[in-house]
Copies of this chain bind each other. A is one copy, B any other.
Amino acid sequence: MEATRRKFLTSSRNGILTIGLFPLWTGPTTAWAQSDPLPSWNETASKAAIVSFVGRVTKQGSADFVPDAERVAVFDNDGTLWVEHPMYTQLAFALDRVKTLAPQHPEWKDTQPFKAVLDGDMKALAASGEKGLLELIMLTHAGMTTTEFKKVVTDWLSTARDPKFKRPYTELVYQPMVELMAYLRANGFKTFIVSGGGVEFMRPWTEKAYGVPPEQVIGSSIKTEFRMQDDTPTLYRLPEVNFIDDKAGKPVGINEAIGQRPIAAFGNSDGDIEMLQWTTMAGAPARLGMLVHHTDADREYAYDRDTDFGRLDKALDAAAITGWTVIDMKADWKRVFKD
């Protein structure tokens, strides 16, 4: 690095540039001033796979070269970019919402799945099944305008704390993945989030946490309806599923929102299989598929084939066959969170 820098300065001195003007000239400095863009990654096969892939697709004239406009990378959110245990953050939000709204709904004391939530009975909640959980989401996420919902999410995130780390949820994003996203963007990529989570639950904070603007967040959604209320246009959130952005829904959501096929995809669970297939099995040589494997019980959690949140089972088997890289959190990451 230092040798390159010296060489550059020497040739500049002999050229039309002068040292006097140097501070103004900010063009190619990044080429030599750049330090390691992935400082939270250990020097293991995972980091090598990333750097090699980026090198190949950005090298003009290489057989693997991909033009800027086609450099699309997609990231699952829960368990890939931030913590998803002991439960999805959005579920923690929904449970808190039930408690907040309970005084206005005395009937919930005797109605499942609300009773289970208010009693803290996670077993009874699980027994209410997908139908119960869906009902919970609808009643806590719908029945208000998009503007109101955004405020509810933002307010909750500002006070809620993760039960294990005692930190705001938005601080529990994986620092190595944040670096990876920034590294890809610095190399001409557009980075999208493609999550089973609710799109309007994520958009209020993804720009700050990941550098991903609202229009690059794809997720599950409920239907909204345009309504004029007292001469003010609003979008009202209805208790009706619009789209489930999970499993085979992920490539569908990607196509609807992005309109082109990604060249890199990052997930951590069986819900990401189709997204990684769609991305990497395209017949082109340079495609990157990676799975975050939670192997670090000390610094975060260790789980894979047997968990309710973020099960990594079939995807782990598929990785060996398809050539997806499995990120070993414990071995590959120097740190999990920003200090």
Chain A residues proximal to chain B, CB less than 8 Å: 16-18, 20-21, 24-27, 69, 146, 190, 192, 199-200, 203, 207, 213-217, 221, 224-226, 228, 231-233, 235, 242, 248-249, 251-252, 255-260, 274, 277-278, 281-283
Contact = CB atoms under 8 A, between A and B. Distances in A.
Contacts of A228: 277
Given A260-B214, A277-B233, A281-B233, A255 B21 contact: no
A54 B312 CA distance: 50
Within the oligomer, what is the number of copies of this chain? Answer: 2
Contacts of A207: 69
Nearest to A207: B69
Interface of A, secondary structure class, is mixed
Contacts of A217: 259
Nearest to A147: B261
Nearest to A232: B281
Given A18-B21, A199-B259, A224-B256, 6 more contacts: A17-B21, A21-B25, A215-B259, A225-B248, A226-B249, A233-B277
Question: Which 3 A-B pairs give the minimum distances between C-beta atoms?
Answer: A214-B259, A226-B248, A203-B259
Contact of A199 (B214, B233, B256, B277): B256
A24 B16 contact: yes
22 contacts: A16-B20, A16-B24, A21-B21, A24-B25, A25-B25, A192-B215, A214-B258, A215-B257, A215-B259, A221-B256, A226-B249, A226-B274, A228-B277, A233-B277, A233-B278, A233-B281, A233-B282, A235-B252, A235-B255, A235-B278, A242-B256, A257-B257
Contacts of A257: 215, 257
A215 B215 contact: yes
B203 A226 contact: no
A221 to B, nearest CB: 6
A146 B274 CA distance: 16
A213 B192 CA distance: 14
A319 to B, nearest CB: 16
A155 to B, nearest CB: 18
B224 A252 contact: yes
Q: Which of A20, A248, A256, A259 has the most CB of B within 10 A?
A: A259
B251 A235 contact: yes
A274 B146 CA distance: 16
